[in-house]
Amino acid sequence: MQERIAALRLSKPLQGEIDDLVRALNAADGKESVEREGEMQIAFILALEKTKKMRPADIEALYMMFDDAVQERLANL
């Protein structure tokens, strides 16, 4: 997932926030925790979309990356 995120060429502050979301998802230790992290990720991406801080294609890519990561974590529980 980190490689896919790096390909988006995000600003350092934005990259840091996304890295924090990835770490929190990886640290989640149960279905409810993983789902809660997924909801936080969606809210974060929605805020980026509303402020137009990223191109629409990059926003869509982030939605897909985080959804894939959440689904993978849930499957591995």
Q: What's the rounded Cα separation, in Å, for the pair 22 and 64?
A: 13
7-11, 14-18, 61-65, 68-72, range with the lowest pLDDT:
7-11
Nearest in space to 50 (alpha carbons), one of 41, 61, 59: 59
Model pLDDT for residues 25-70, shown as the tens digit of each residue? 999 999 999 999 999 999 999 999 999 888 999 999 999 999 999 9
Q: What is the pLDDT of residue 6?
A: 86
